[in-house]
Amino acid sequence: MSSSLSKFSKNESSVQKKNHNTVSSDNIAVKNKGMGKLERNRVIMSWTFVIIPTFFILLFYFYPMVQAFWLSLHTGAGVNLTFTGFDNYRRLFSDQAFIAALTNTFIFLVFQIPLMIILALVFSVILNQKTLKLKGIFRTLVFLPSITSLVAYSLVFRYLFSNNGIVNQILMGINLIDSPVLWLGDPFWARVLIIIAITWRWTGYNMIFYLSALQNVSPSIYEAARIDGASAVQQFFKITIPMLRPVILFTSITSTIGTLQLFDEPMNLTGGGPGNATTTLSQYIYNLSFQFTPNFGYASAVSYTIVVFVVILSAIQFRLGRERK
Amino acid sequence: MKNQETMKKVFMYSFLILTSVMFFFPFYFLIISITNPSIDITRGRLLPGTHFIENFRTMIETSLLSRAVINSTIVSFGQTILSIFVSSLAGYGFEVHKSRGKEIVYNMVLLSMMIPFAALMVPLFRLFGTISEVAPIFGIDTLFGVILPYVSTAFLIFFFRQNTKMFPKELLEAGRIDGLSELGLFLKIYMPTMKTTYAAAGIVTFMGAWNNFLWPLVILQSPRNFTVPLVISAMGSGYLIDFGAVMIAIFFTTIPTAIIFFVLQKHFVAGMVGSIK
C-alpha cells in the first residue's frame, strides 16, 4: 500500500504532460529493437487491454471533473447557462446552508473517525488474542453491520431512536434519562445519532483491516514487552499502534473520503434535519441539483470544495503518516 | 497476580458481550419487527408477534419491491461481470506487459481514486443526458446507465494488478509456446488461475452494486426502474408509512448479502483487505 501510494503522489504532476509522448516512444522502441511481428502484436494487444478501461475512466471521471469546473463558472437553470466567472465561489462564503453543511461534515469527520478507529483497534487487539474463547462469534457480530445497505440500516436506526422508540425506553428503564431524548428533533442529538449510526456500521469493517495486519505482527514482540514489564495499555500504544501505522493511515484516508461524501445516512435517517443540523455537503449538492430549482453551476462550485478537501486531507494524512516513520 | 488476571478477563468478556449485544441489537429488532404490526414497531416491542403474513402482503401490495429486486439483480450481476472483466484486463495488461508508458497511464488511473463521487453526480447526470440523445438505452432512467460509470474503476484495476504480482508468469510462457494469442492467454490461462482473485473482487463489487444508493437515485426516474435501496428509501419516507412492510422489505433484501457473507466469508475478507497488501 505505502509503496503504491508514494508512486501515486510522485507522478501526479507529471502524468498529464508525459502521457502521449511516452505512448509513441513505446511503439518506436518496439520497432527499433526489431522484435518479431508476433511480439509486436502482443505489445499492441496489451495496450488495447489497458486503453479500454482507461478510456472509461477518462470518460466517467476526468471528463466530468473538467465539465464540473466549467459548469461552476456558469449560472442559470437547465441548459440556459451564462458565464459568471467566480461568482459561484464567492457566493459560497455568504451561503448559510453551505456553511451549515460544511460545519456538519467537519463535525462528523472530527468526532466520528477517531472514535471509530480507536474502537476498531481495541476490538482487533482483544479479538486477536490466541486464548480468547468464542473469538469467531465476537468477530462476526462486530463485523455483521458491514454487510447491511446504508439505506436499510439508516431506516432501522430511525425506528430504534424514535421519540418513544426502544432506545429511549431502555435508557429510561435503566434511569439514565428522565424524559425521552429527541434524537431526531434536537440538532445536537441528531448529530450524535448520525455519529452512533456510522460508528455501528463501519467499526467492524475497519477492524478486519487491523486484524489482518495484526496477523503479520510477531507474537514474540509482545512477549518481550511483557517480560520487560509493559502493561496492556503501554503495549497498545508502544507496539500495536506503531506496527499498524500504515493500515491506520489507509483506513483513516478511506474513512475521511467516505465521510466527506456522506449522503445515504443523513438522507434516510434524519433527512438532513432538524433544519440543516445534519445536512452534509453531498446532500446539499443533491438538493441544489435535483430537489430545488436545478442550479448545476452553483452545485458544481460546492462539489469542487469537496474535491479540494479530499485532496488536502489525503495529502496531510499521508504526510503525517510518513513523517512518523 | 492471579486475582488481577481474573479481573482482567472478567472485564474483557463483559466488554465484549456488552458491545456484541449492542452490535447485534438492530438485527434482533429487525427480525422481531417483521412479525409485528406497525404500531408495535414504533413502540419498540421486543417480542415476536403474529403479523408476519399481513406485513408481507402489505409490502407486496403497496411497494414495487419485487420489480426492484429484479432490477437490482440485473444491475448487480451486470456490473459485477462487466467490471471485473474490464478491470482485470487492465490489471493484466499493466502488470504482465510493463512499460514506462503504461506506468504513466496507470498512475493517471490511480489518480481518479481521489475524485469524490459527490463531485461527479452533476456532470455525470449531464453526460448521461447527452448519451440519452444518441443511444437512449444507455442513458438516463435505464439500468445500463446505472452500470456504466462503474464498468472500469481504479480500485478494481489496482486490486487486480496487485494480485497479478503473485501470478506465475511461467504459465504464460507455456501458453505462448502453444501458440495462444494474448487474448487467449488471458482467457484460457490467466482467468482460470486467478479464480480466487475474481471471487474476491466479484463479491466486493456485487455488494457495492446491490447497496448503491446515490447514483441510481440521480439517474433513475420512473419507479418501475428503481433498484432495491431506492424503493426501500421511498417506502420509509412516504406519508403513510407501514413500518412492518418496510421492515420486511429490509429483511428480505439484506438476506442475499448475508448469505454471500456467510458462504463466502474467506473471499469476502480477501476482497476487502487484498488491496492493501
Mean pLDDT, all residues of chain A? 82
Q: Which triple of cell numbers denotes residue A133? A: 474463547
For the segment A207-231, the average pLDDT, to the nearest whole number, is 86
Q: Which of B103, B152, B261 is facing A53, going by the closest CB pair? A: B152
Longest CA–CA separation in chain B, Å: 77
Which residues are paired to A82 by β-bridges?
Answer: A75
pLDDT attached to residue B244 = 86
pLDDT reading at A280 higher than 90: yes
Q: How far is A32 from chain B (nearest CA, A)?
A: 15
Distance CA A6, CA B12 (A): 39
pLDDT reading at A2 higher than 50: no
Nearest-5° angle of CA B56, CA B59, CA B65? Answer: 120
A173 Ramachandran zone, left/alpha/beta (phi>0; psi -120 to 50): alpha
The residue ranges of DSSP E strands in A47-185, in sequence order, are 74-75, 82-83
Q: Which triple of cell numbers denotes residue B97? A: 506487459
| 8 Å CB contact between A239 and A224 | no
pLDDT reading at B252 higher than 60: yes
Q: Which of B23, B232, B243 is facing A159, going by the closest CB pair? A: B243
DSSP3 helix / strand / coil % (chain A, rounded to 5): 75, 0, 25
Task: Using only the alpha carbons of chain A, give its radius of gyration.
Answer: 25
pLDDT reading at A250 higher than 60: yes
Asked whether the beta carbons of residue A307 and residue B257 sit closer than 8 angstroms, the reply is: no
CATH code for the part of the protein at B58-276: 1.10.3720.10
Share of chain A above pLDDT 90, in %: 36
pLDDT reading at B36 higher than 50: yes
pLDDT attached to residue A78 = 64
Of the pLDDT bands very low, low, confident and very high (cuts 50, 70, 90), residue A28 is very low
| 8 Å CB contact between A152 and B253 | yes
For the segment A165-178, the average pLDDT, to the nearest whole number, is 87
pLDDT reading at A319 higher than 80: no
Q: What's the topology of domain A95-323?
A: MetI-like fold (1.10.3720)
Q: Does B182 touch chain A (CB under 8 A)?
A: yes
Residue of higher predicted confidence among A29 and A180 = A180
**Contacts of residue A268, Cβ cutoff 8 Å, sequence gap at least 6:** A150, A151, A154, A155, A158, B233, B236, B237
pLDDT digits over B200-224, tens only? 889 889 999 999 999 999 999 999 9
Share of chain A above pLDDT 70, in %: 86
pLDDT attached to residue A202 = 94
**Total Cβ atoms within 10 A of residue B135:** 10
pLDDT attached to residue A318 = 65
Of the pLDDT bands very low, low, confident and very high (cuts 50, 70, 90), residue A112 is very high
Q: Which triple of cell numbers denotes residue A180? A: 425521552
pLDDT attached to residue A7 = 36
Distance CA A323, CA B121 (A): 35
pLDDT reading at A323 higher than 70: no
Q: Among A156, A174, A261, A265, pick the best mutation site for testing chain B contact (most B Cβ within 10 A).
A: A156
Strand pairing category for A82-83 and A74-75: antiparallel
**Contacts of residue B82, Cβ cutoff 8 Å, sequence gap at least 6:** B147, B151
| 8 Å CB contact between B32 and B46 | yes
Sign of CA pseudo-dihedral A72, A76, A81, A84: negative
pLDDT attached to residue B268 = 77
pLDDT reading at A98 higher than 60: yes
For the segment B158-183, the average pLDDT, to the nearest whole number, is 87
Which residue shows C-alpha cell 458462504? B263
Of the pLDDT bands very low, low, confident and very high (cuts 50, 70, 90), residue A325 is very low
For the segment B38-48, the average pLDDT, to the nearest whole number, is 81
pLDDT digits over B84-94, tens only? 999 999 999 99
Burial B228-252 (b: 16+ CB within 10 A, else e): bbbbbbbbbeeeebbbbbbbbbbbb
Q: How far is A226 from chain B (nearest CA, A)?
A: 14
Contacts of A289 in chain B (CB under 8 A): 121-122, 125
**CB proximity under 8 Å: A 157-196 to B:** 157-160, 162, 164-167, 169
Distance CA B87, CA B31 (A): 38
pLDDT attached to residue B1 = 58
Which residues are paired to A162 by β-bridges?
Answer: none
Q: How far is A222 from chain B (nearest CA, A)?
A: 17
pLDDT attached to residue B16 = 92
Preceding peptide of A180 cis, ω within 30°: no
Q: Where are the domains of chain A?
A: 10-59, 95-323
Asked whether the beta carbons of residue B89 and residue A52 sit closer than 8 angstroms, the reply is: yes
pLDDT attached to residue A197 = 95
Share of chain B above pLDDT 90, in %: 40
pLDDT reading at A30 higher than 90: no
Instruction: Note every long-range contact of B137-145, with CB atoms under 8 Å and residues 24 or more positions apart, other chains counting.
Output: B140/B219, B140/B221, B141/B219, B141/B220, B141/B221, B141/B222, B141/B225, B142/B219, B142/B225, B143/B71, B143/B74, B143/B75, B143/B78, B143/B225, B145/B219, B145/B220
For the segment A232-243, the average pLDDT, to the nearest whole number, is 86
Phi, psi of B264 (to 5 degrees): -115, 35
**CB proximity under 8 Å: B 200-259 to A:** 207, 210-211, 213-214, 217-218, 228-229, 232-233, 236-237, 243, 246-247, 250, 253-254, 257-258
Q: Does B166 touch chain A (CB under 8 A)?
A: no
Residue of higher predicted confidence among A185 and A35 = A185
Of the pLDDT bands very low, low, confident and very high (cuts 50, 70, 90), residue B241 is confident
Asked whether the beta carbons of residue B43 and residue A164 sit closer than 8 angstroms, the reply is: yes
Q: How many CB pairs under 8 A join A and B?
A: 285
Q: Among A9-18, A46-55, A218-227, B256-265, whose mean pLDDT is lowest?
A: A9-18
Q: Shortest CA distance to A31 belongs to which of A20, A43, A22, A19?
A: A43
pLDDT attached to residue A99 = 94
pLDDT attached to residue B275 = 57
Contacts of A8 in chain B (CB under 8 A): 107, 110-111
Q: Where are the domains of chain B?
A: 58-276
pLDDT attached to residue A13 = 39
For the segment B59-80, the average pLDDT, to the nearest whole number, is 91
ipTM over 0.85 threshold: yes
Nearest chain B residue to A123 by CA: give it.
B16
For the segment B157-168, the average pLDDT, to the nearest whole number, is 88
For the segment A68-89, the average pLDDT, to the nearest whole number, is 83
The residue ranges of DSSP E strands in chain B, in sequence order, are none
